Amino acid sequence: MIYMAEKIAIDATKPIPLDDHLCFSLYATSRAIQKLYHDGLSKNKLTYPQYLVLVALYEYDHVTVKGLGELLSLDSGTLTPLLKRMEKEGLVTRQRSKDDERVVNVELTDLGISKRKDINELPEILVAKSNFTADEWNTLEDLSKKLFMNITK
């Protein structure tokens, strides 16, 4: 059976070589980006998921745990232990809403803001290493977001 999506044809009767699997390419690229970020993160005693939390909270300021999970595509079972560790390290505060105790608000502390600023150059390093033009970079971002939205509908 051949699956068609406009101009893309995949013959399901033949195995696709590993190098032709988009999922593998994206996985390997994601791991390479995390490795590229490693030095800057470890110098600041941060993990990659903690970095993503700092980025999201710096951008959105006051966020609920549920909202943060949606932003980062993480479930509460993954996010809650991560936030507890970050709170213990003094990077974030978690506070139950006065209106609804089921809602937990998360904010960066001054230390969290400082760490976020300390690692601000990481995306610049990635862009420089990519050797992409601005148009190529924007196309990659747009297509990545489109793919994510389409497969998570």
pLDDT in tens, 31-66: 999 999 999 999 999 999 999 999 999 999 789 999
- Once rounded to an integer, what is the mean pLDDT over residues 76-94? 96
Q: Which of 124, 119, 115 is nearest to 86 (CA)?
A: 115
| pLDDT score for 117 | 94
- List, in order of start, the domains of the chain with CATH numbers: 14-151 (1.10.10.10)
- Which residue do the tokens 């300390």 mark? 118
Specify the pLDDT at position 1: 43
HSE value, Cβ hemisphere, 13 Å, CA-based, for 105: 12
**Secondary structure element (H or E) that encloses residue 38, with its range:** helix 22-43
